Amino acid sequence: MEKTLETAPPLAELTAAATLNNRRISGRIAVFDTPGSPNMGRMSFAPGSITIPEPLSKVKLLINHDKNAPVGYMESYEQDAHGIKATFVVAETDAGDMALAEAKAKIRDGLSVGAMVHRLDPSPPEPGTRRIINAALYEVSLVSVPAFEDTLVESVTASLGAESDTMTENQNPAPETTEKEKEPVPTPATPPVPAEGEPSALTAAINAANLAPVPAATPPLTVTAAADRLLTAVKDGENIGAVMAALSDVVPANDKGEAFFKKFWIGELWKASVVERPFIEGFGSPGKLTGLKAYGWRWVKTPEVGKYNSDKTAIPSNTLSTEMVEGEAQDFAAGWDVARKYIDLGNADAIAQIFQLAADDYRRKTEEWFSGRIIEQATELDNITSALGAMKTIPRYMKKLGAHVSKIKMGEALYDQFLELSDEQVPWWLKAQGSVSLSDSTGVAAGVSVEYSDQLEAHQVMAWDSRAATYYEHGSSPIRLQALDIPRGGIDISVHGYAAEIVHDPRAIIKATVTPAAG
């Protein structure tokens, strides 16, 4: 989803020209590498990060990022080391007059960019601040409260013909008004209509002296417009007490039909679920199952070579033998009869979730089945009295076979014993090469993965060479089937999976029950 940024660095300078011939607002629309807090969180713009489209009139001047309230368009811009300055032509409309008036009165005198963010700096110089390095500008808005600190109007200029009237924060106060000037000026019964090329009454008022602007009469609001106005005011943090004083309360208790408060649908909630297959993954990538059984053979008695005296006596020899090994495919399946209306009118995501959850359970059930088969065929070792004892004895045993230890698994009590080893009990080789992850109950001891397993008994330990067995399956996800159940108006959906295993050398799969030494 594309990221839209609204409220970026506002202006440092703003000049408002409120005549028909010079209706302009100018100011700094962005500053580079100055953090602020727009709607996407704390961020900044990198130099040259903002792309401005051609023609410049594509960039509209809005009020509060409301795309339905344009008041002008970009006429020109310039970019320097500090940021970007731009000038906007303000439309000759009531909204445009109001924009100029509010800017001059310092009511709405911030400039805020609306840009589509394409790329962020992967290594921002300031931690916690996202730095934009590529964004496309599409609008600039006049706002009352900018997102960046100390970026307010420095000057407001309104010009009328060849004369100009400039007001700044440091301007000297206006001369005192004489008694004659205080006399009320009679207002004509019918306001004159300005001739073509002359400023409107509001525009002229904006340019007259240093008076606060007087907004034009606002037409009555429709119910929809009034509701929009209230919602916008609340979201913008405006003081709406005067409006609320004239209205009756509308609270959730009165809105039984939920006309005002819509529900926010977020779909399926996350639920913790075991889908990993540590036993299967511990023996390498699964093989592809293509038949009802997996076949193989292995040596029972292998060739043995002896010493020979070369005196024409019989040379050494021994009996050789092999055996057939097979693993029959195990079926896994489940099915549901779903009423047609849930297919025709229901949420397709829910049906997809049935298949996904079935696939997750298939992974759990195949892990349970395979681990049970491996534990059953493992070679039992005796005389192991502790977790450390297992780490010493098992590797020596495997070395004699020509195998190596790929993984060690422990039952709950034995794994706790391993974690609770004191500093004095831990040998140097484990101190130098040992670590434990509390997030998933795994660890490393002298380069070998050590894990807790709920498939083992509390005091049981297992270790194996990953080459000692292979797990086969038709596919990592079960086959999905759908069939019409016309007589009962339903649709049958089902999943089917097939798995098999072969133990190549049970001697290289070790299990032991740790029994503490007496005394």
The pLDDT tens digits of the residues spanning 389-401 come to 888 889 899 999 9
324-344 average pLDDT score: 82
The pLDDT tens digits of the residues spanning 152-179 come to 555 555 444 333 443 333 333 444 444 5
Q: What is the pLDDT of residue 40?
A: 62
The pLDDT tens digits of the residues spanning 453-481 come to 999 999 999 999 999 999 999 877 777 66
Q: What is the pLDDT of residue 153?
A: 55
The pLDDT tens digits of the residues spanning 499-516 come to 999 999 999 999 999 988
431 three-state secondary structure: helix
pLDDT at 278 over 50: yes
Confidence of residue 16 (pLDDT cuts 50, 70, 90): very low
Q: What is the pLDDT of residue 310?
A: 82
**Rounded CA separation 403/464 (Å):** 9
pLDDT at 13 over 70: no
Q: What is the pLDDT of residue 309?
A: 85
**Rounded CA separation 57/67 (Å):** 15
Contacts of 355 (CB under 8 A, 6+ apart): 480, 493, 495
Return the residue matching tokens 């292995």. Answer: 298
386-391 average pLDDT score: 86
Tokens of 425: 């009990």
Task: Give the residue extent of every domain in the chain.
Answer: 3-160, 275-519
83-97 average pLDDT score: 90
Confidence of residue 308 (pLDDT cuts 50, 70, 90): confident
Structural fold of domain 275-519: hypothetical protein PF0899 fold (3.30.2320)
**Contact (Cβ atoms closer than 8 angstroms) between residue 415 and residue 452:** yes
DSSP string across 36-52: B--TTSSEEEPTT-EE-
The pLDDT tens digits of the residues spanning 40-49 come to 677 888 999 9
Q: What is the pLDDT of residue 367?
A: 93
**Contact (Cβ atoms closer than 8 angstroms) between residue 56 and residue 74:** yes
Confidence of residue 347 (pLDDT cuts 50, 70, 90): low
Q: What is the pLDDT of residue 160?
A: 42
Cα four-point dihedral sign 346, 352, 357, 358: positive
